[in-house]
Structure 1
Amino acid sequence: MLKKSLAIMSISAAFFAQAQDVSVIRNTVDVYSNAPNVGSAKFNAMGGSNGALGGDANSLLTNPAGLGVAISGEVSGTLLISNNKNTSSYAGSSTGYTINKGDLGNLSGVMTFQLMTESAWKFVNIGINYSNQSIENYVETPGNSNLIYDFDATNSSSFGKHAYDRYGYLSKTSVGVGANYNNNLYLGAGLNFLNSSIDQSDTAIFNSLSGGGSETFSKQNTPFYERGNGFSASLGVISKLSPNFRVGAALETPTFWNIDRSYNFYNDPIYGDDYATENRKLTSPLKATVSAAFIASKSFSLNVDYTLGLTKPKYKVYGDAETELNDFFKDNAKNLSEVKVGAEYRIKQFRLRGGYSYASSPFDALSISRYADNGDIVDNQSYNNLILSDRNALSFGVGYDFKSFYIDASYQNITSKYSNPLLYGVIDGNYEAGYYSPTRLISSDAYVVSDVKNIRNNFFFTVGWKF
């Protein structure tokens, strides 16, 4: 099998001059640097905020010290039903597409071991948590009849439409231990094992101005397929300042990813159209979380988490492609920043919960050359939301406790808006990143940029047992 290096050229503060695939950067941040944060219906109803509250195995998603807060064993399973809609707008038209999925979102359990000694150590608990989420995403951008490509002297075509299609999943299995010291100090540690699967394509359709037909083109080095596995570790502490106040802190190491990648390539001077494989190693950001909780009584609790990325994504260098990717993230990526707030109110056996989270945009402002609606090229257009943007999530839920058994349900709404660059690809004597059909190829020295609105509606249903 031919071994080829992924070609990504001239990445700079002005974005890429000759990028192989925008989604390489998107997936680095959106998939590999963003572990699944899918917990129980309670966890998600409270915005994923439990860093200083703890009490169950979902603590492994934020602060493993929360395992030490548990005083009884517990197991639970969560069904996730998701609705993901992208609406891409360009040149006065919009195309919307919705994906509905149902899957097992979370399994978790904690075993408590009360220490019947005179020591100040009260409990040592063991927990396991499995989180799984679909990363399926489809963005279809409408065409523009003013955007004309000349294949030859007798054949010109206009831009018909573009489709970015990603299938796959991201899962995280965590095991950890938590300890309770004198009911005032809680310590914890966890190991995290991640798995990913991505199948992705990038295609465009062009409409002939003379023959009336259309042709479908695939971008160089697509479709591609990636299978990854990663490992990270976490440490945490929670301190009870008073019966009503707690603070917590946690640190999660970078995830060390090993990614096997395969992809199609076209028009090679020796091999023609063929298929290649390669391996990549990626280190995702180191993350720190600080938390505070207020427990007014057994009826009301409030938790706030703040997570900050302390490093940036970094690929192991095998050639120019990884060097230029690393330079791009070093110069243009922001450190991860996320705030989560969650609250729970209890009325006898009933539970009412709500939460909110905000994650900042992962990139600084980036400048590119783009096509205007009339087909002209606008140089150095600046965007503060290119590829990905900030994200807002609002959630609420209810639950009922049957003493040993409980049921919970929650709803989560996640929204983001970003500028989506596509269709760029140059073809010259030294470098090819254009779009290819079985008979023709095209190049484009500027980007089409659409406006994408993403809305995710997630529904969670949990059944649990305490023992």
Structure 2
Amino acid sequence: MSISAAFFAQAQDVSVIRNSIDVYSNSPMVGSSKFNAMAGSNGALGGDANSLLTNPAGLGVAISGEISGTLSVMNNKNTSSLAGSSIKYDINKADIGNVGGVMTFQLMTESAWKFINIGVNFSNQTLEDYVETPGNNNLIYDFDVDRSSAYAGHAYNRYGNLSKTSFGIGANYNHSLYLGLGLNFFNASIDQYDTAAFRSLENGAVDYFDKQNTPYFESSNGFSASLGVIGKVGSNLRLGAALETPTFWDIDRSYNFYNDPAYGDDVAIEGRRFTSPLKATVSAALVAGKNFSLNADYSLGLTKPKYKVYGPAETELNDFFEDYYKNGSEVRLGAEYRVKQLRLRGGYSYMSNPLDALTISRFTNDGSMGNQSYSNLILNDRNLLSFGLGYDFKSFYIDAAYQNVTSKYSNPFMRGLLTDNIDSAYYSPSDIVASDAYIVSDVKNSRNNFFVTFGWKF
């Protein structure tokens, strides 16, 4: 099946699809260094405030109070290749990645209920991403002013942050059954740019063009709730399960539009409502005494993303998700080994591609056009490898972690139409660029993340 011209015209840009899945349908998973070193795998272990990122029942496992703060340093490198050329770009950013705390309340009664614990967790991650693609002199565009230009490059640029603040309560029943509830509040900000460059075949001058309805800006907030349970099966094995409701987003957005018959060049303001997929997580953990623990999590989306319909744009977005979105899944494995006061940790996670194969019309490197099917268009699967160290100084501790995250995907851009009913072309102050086909580059994304945590147990 091919993607219709009307869909991308109304949806404004493939970045709307990417952000709907990659931002609004994903929770930030930046925890403490311990959590990050174990690839976010703690669904059946619990014991600290980061349980609110996976299974709130883990709050009930804690038997002492704790507070921690984590500094994150993110490196994001994209290499975009087209027609035998490549451009690499690195982004480095430091921020407060996580702050969490848990208060324990031991129940001094003869009841089997041993603890009621309260947890708070703040998780924050940067959304900054930049993909610059080289030009191709074989791709020639004819302008309305009777001159031709060669495609000279393209830049996709996103700024912003995504955060999740969670409040939860956990209960401990006879040190064998743990229950938890979490309330999650999200905030996101996105500045999105889409710019193409063309070089005149007459004088070599380069013009820059913004895509219709870009740049656009979004400020959003959302809410979800989560429920969880962890049970001991024998002395060394724990099993866990958690369910997180969809996140209900309110999105305020503004975007630039150009050459409108009534308004000319102006800025539009609108609101959207978006619902992310319902998500379930099942977990298993092996706890071999006080020196070794191993945890495995499996998370699965149970529903599809959905926009509240205000017009044709939301209808066509929903139709796209209905046809091409598949329930995303993630497997996380993490382990910790203790040698006296030293902690050694490692982890791995795999997230599946959330989109089915797509067939589009695209330019080949020699400038001709044709249809091609892609199994990794817009997004693809993701691999994460992590490790870390920690050291306890009695009540105080310091941990460090490293993560390497990799993904490869095909990046479509430059498609734009200009007809009586559809306008998704690229604009400079005087010219219009429109094409029926995409240019598609190959992007390798590599993220190297570093974390340092300082914590206090009381």
Shift of 1:37: 0.3
Match of 2:2 in 1: 14
SS state of the match for residue 282, structure 2?
strand
The reply to whether residue 229 of structure 1 matches residue 217 of structure 2 is no
Shift of 1:295: 0.8
The reply to whether residue 253 of structure 1 matches residue 241 of structure 2 is no
Distance in 2 (CA, whole Å) between partners of 1:107 and 1:144 is: 47
- Within the candidate set 418, 422, 431, 2:422 is matched to 431
Distance in 1 (CA, whole Å) between partners of 2:276 and 2:4 is: 21
- Within the candidate set 148, 157, 167, 2:149 is matched to 157
Distance in 1 (CA, whole Å) between partners of 2:90 and 2:40 is: 25
Distance in 1 (CA, whole Å) between partners of 2:2 and 2:175 is: 54
Match of 1:304 in 2: 296
Distance in 2 (CA, whole Å) between partners of 1:235 and 1:431 is: 45
SS state of the match for residue 132, structure 1?
strand
Match of 2:351 in 1: 359
Distance in 2 (CA, whole Å) between partners of 1:431 and 1:347 is: 65
Match of 1:219 in 2: 211
The reply to whether residue 169 of structure 1 matches residue 161 of structure 2 is yes
The reply to whether residue 121 of structure 1 matches residue 109 of structure 2 is no
Match of 1:412 in 2: 403
The reply to whether residue 394 of structure 1 matches residue 389 of structure 2 is no
Q: Is the 8 A contact 2:145 2:431 kept in 1?
A: no
1:401 is matched by which residue type in structure 2? D
Distance in 2 (CA, whole Å) between partners of 1:322 and 1:268 is: 21
Distance in 1 (CA, whole Å) between partners of 2:421 and 2:128 is: 34
Match of 1:130 in 2: 122
Distance in 2 (CA, whole Å) between partners of 1:151 and 1:41 is: 53
Q: Which runs of 5+ in 1 are unaligned?
A: 1-12
- Within the candidate set 62, 65, 69, 2:61 is matched to 69
Match of 1:10 in 2: none
Distance in 2 (CA, whole Å) between partners of 1:327 and 1:428 is: 22
1:437 is matched by which residue type in structure 2? S
Match of 2:374 in 1: 383
Match of 1:456 in 2: 447
1:37-81: per-residue Cα shift (whole Å, max 9, x none)? 000000000010000000000000000000000000000000000
Q: Is the 8 A contact 2:244 2:280 kept in 1?
A: yes
Indicate the percent of aligned positions where both proteins have the same amino acid. Answer: 72
SS state of the match for residue 262, structure 2?
coil
Shift of 1:153: 6.8
Match of 2:140 in 1: 148
Distance in 2 (CA, whole Å) between partners of 1:299 and 1:118 is: 31
Distance in 2 (CA, whole Å) between partners of 1:71 and 1:404 is: 14
The reply to whether residue 94 of structure 1 matches residue 72 of structure 2 is no
Distance in 2 (CA, whole Å) between partners of 1:430 and 1:330 is: 24
User: Where do 4+ consecutive residues of structure 1 move more than 3 Å?
Assistant: none
1:279-299: per-residue Cα shift (whole Å, max 9, x none)? 000000000000000011210
Alignment of 1:238-277 (within 5 A): 238-277=230-269
2:205 is matched by which residue type in structure 1? G
1:17 is matched by which residue type in structure 2? A
Question: Aligned residues, how many?
Answer: 454
Match of 2:287 in 1: 295
Distance in 2 (CA, whole Å) between partners of 1:362 and 1:167 is: 23
The reply to whether residue 201 of structure 1 matches residue 189 of structure 2 is no
Shift of 1:173: 0.1
Distance in 1 (CA, whole Å) between partners of 2:190 and 2:333 is: 31
2:53 is matched by which residue type in structure 1? L
- Within the candidate set 424, 439, 443, 2:434 is matched to 443
Match of 2:29 in 1: 37
TM-score normalized with structure 2 length: 0.98
1:366 is matched by which residue type in structure 2? L
1:277-327: per-residue Cα shift (whole Å, max 9, x none)? 000000000000000000112100000000000001000011111111001
2:147 is matched by which residue type in structure 1? N
- Within the candidate set 266, 278, 281, 2:270 is matched to 278
Distance in 2 (CA, whole Å) between partners of 1:240 and 1:212 is: 71
Distance in 2 (CA, whole Å) between partners of 1:398 and 1:93 is: 40
2:2 is matched by which residue type in structure 1? A
2:212 is matched by which residue type in structure 1? Q
Shift of 1:15: 2.4
Match of 2:52 in 1: 60
Q: Cα RMSD (Å) of the superposition?
A: 0.7
SS state of the match for residue 43, structure 1?
helix
Shift of 1:122: 0.1
Q: Which runs of 5+ in 2 are unaligned?
A: none
Q: Is the 8 A contact 2:70 2:96 kept in 1?
A: yes
